[in-house]
Structure 1
């Protein structure tokens, strides 16, 4: 397993030490458990940094491994962000365990964000029959990632929605999924998906702004009845879907546009109030 980094950034974090990225190659045995988080960095600040680190902590604890010092990791990540300022790029935290040995790497990675045109028109997604095992633990999954990336490339689509053996949509390969039925947002239950930080924020915003939201299984047979849909993620933010498989949505629902606006406002508020 190889961990890729952005060669345009000069520094990375290894445990508690900030090191130069020159000639850095991180290769791990395929049997290594790698827990990870991807944090969007804007103007040198980590968006929802505390929430990402809490999820990293929960992933490790749910795997019944030794506790990790999240406060120490936060301190060192902030040091890295100050030492290697970036305007906007994703930072990937990799925490891995091999027997009793543990290591932490925080590296900037190549990042692609949707254009304004994509947010206005939406994206096309396809369905992929594959399941994430133990979805509440954020572990590197080369098989799932490889299968999804190959399907995305072959279909020339933006994302793959994962479908379980019962025909229910669970999540995207690197995103969470929301369907729109009238004025209601519907998303698969938290227990069945890898809960993204953006997903959590969208649910919170819906409750705070009296937007109807329901967590329940969503079957592929319901696609035709949807008025719209969107995916959420660190790079995607709240991204409208224009087409799922063969079904095209006529318009982007107002509820989706409202959620896009609310999330953008929350980002600004978070970045101005906390690192």
Structure 2
């Protein structure tokens, strides 16, 4: 296994990529895709979001879904890595450049899906949260990483300038009360792929979803909470700051089971 290489416009380059250089040179959009046994999970949804992010920044994506997928497959074959997260960055300019490379991947341990994880709040607001861009959010990312490390929590939950809970630093967040889901309005968050799947699954399971502006002072009224994302999938929250939640909530367990079945179905049929 060798992840000391990356692709630039489909050409192999030895060594680790310098993300800082990419992030500061020019505005770029990116996606992190989870590979399972060499298959890019929900790749079609990631491509659509790449296009949307580019459009929000005033650009048209010049790379097709097929081109990007072939680049990912080429990197897998060269590196002999088939289960890991891969990052796709596209610099947005007249001559667009695409980078594809593996990133350090840490999936939650099995016990975390039962006991849940600890989180905390951080007052910070991303500009243009609907666009998954690297150049604009690099400084914010550094502040979040520092906060995660100093507080020894799994995830930091962001609160915007008006006190509304928006999303996690690398995830989206849901709350549960009386078999009903609550999450921030779409306009306030990066609309995650896993988040969208949860909303679709909730509809199929007849679980109501409310898009609500929830403040950090209100969370004690909820029975359960969870984050969603490429790496954590659906992960129960045990605690945010001093407020504790029920990690065995029936609605939460129902959604976790349904999401795992969705993944298995996608991998089987792709």
Deviation at 1:83, TM superposition (A): 4.2
Match of 2:84 among 89, 97, 112: 89
Q: Within 5 A, what are the aligned runs for 1:44-59?
A: 44-59=38-53
Q: Within 5 A, what are the aligned runs for 1:62-101?
A: 62-71=56-65, 72-97=67-92, 99-101=93-95
Q: What does residue 21 of structure 1 align with?
A: 14
Tell me, in whole angstroms, the C-alpha distance in 2 between the residues paired with 1:207 and 1:39.
25
- 1:60 maps to 2:54: yes
Q: What does residue 269 of structure 1 align with?
A: 265
Residue 105 to residue 248, structure 1, CA distance change in 2 (3 Å): same
Deviation at 1:24, TM superposition (A): 5.1
Tell me, in whole angstroms, the C-alpha distance in 2 between the residues paired with 1:91 and 1:267.
17
Deviations 1:214-238 (A, max 9, x none): 1121111221101010000000100
Deviation at 1:10, TM superposition (A): 5.6
Deviation at 1:200, TM superposition (A): 0.7
Tell me, in whole angstroms, the C-alpha distance in 2 between the residues paired with 1:10 and 1:150.
25
Deviation at 1:250, TM superposition (A): 4.4
- 1:184 maps to 2:180: yes
Q: What does residue 102 of structure 1 align with?
A: 96
Asked whether the equivalents of residues 54 and 70 of structure 1 are also in contact (C-alpha less than 8 Å), the reply is no
Deviation at 1:167, TM superposition (A): 1.0
Q: Secondary structure at the residue paired with 1:203?
A: helix
Q: Within 5 A, what are the aligned runs for 1:185-224?
A: 185-224=181-220
Q: What does residue 232 of structure 2 align with?
A: 236
Tell me, in whole angstroms, the C-alpha distance in 2 between the residues paired with 1:24 and 1:243.
36
Q: TM-score, normalised by structure 2?
A: 0.92
Deviation at 1:22, TM superposition (A): 3.6
Tell me, in whole angstroms, the C-alpha distance in 2 between the residues paired with 1:48 and 1:219.
31
Q: Which runs of 5+ in 1 are unaligned?
A: 1-6
Match of 1:252 among 248, 252, 262: 248
Q: Secondary structure at the residue paired with 1:128?
A: strand
Tell me, in whole angstroms, the C-alpha distance in 2 between the residues paired with 1:237 and 1:24.
27
Q: What does residue 3 of structure 1 align with?
A: none
Deviation at 1:84, TM superposition (A): 3.7
Structure number having the greater strand percentage = 1
Residue 36 to residue 29, structure 1, CA distance change in 2 (3 Å): closer
Q: Secondary structure at the residue paired with 1:28?
A: helix
Q: Within 5 A, what are the aligned runs for 1:115-194?
A: 115-140=109-134, 141-194=137-190
More off after superposition, 241-250 vs 103-112: 241-250
Residue 23 to residue 134, structure 1, CA distance change in 2 (3 Å): closer
Tell me, in whole angstroms, the C-alpha distance in 2 between the residues paired with 1:48 and 1:212.
24
Deviation at 1:23, TM superposition (A): 5.9
Match of 1:113 among 90, 107, 113: 107
Q: TM-score, normalised by structure 1?
A: 0.91
Q: Which runs of 5+ in 2 are unaligned?
A: none
Deviation at 1:182, TM superposition (A): 1.4
Tell me, in whole angstroms, the C-alpha distance in 1 between the residues paired with 2:43 and 2:55.
19
Asked whether the equivalents of residues 2 and 80 of structure 2 are also in contact (C-alpha less than 8 Å), the reply is no
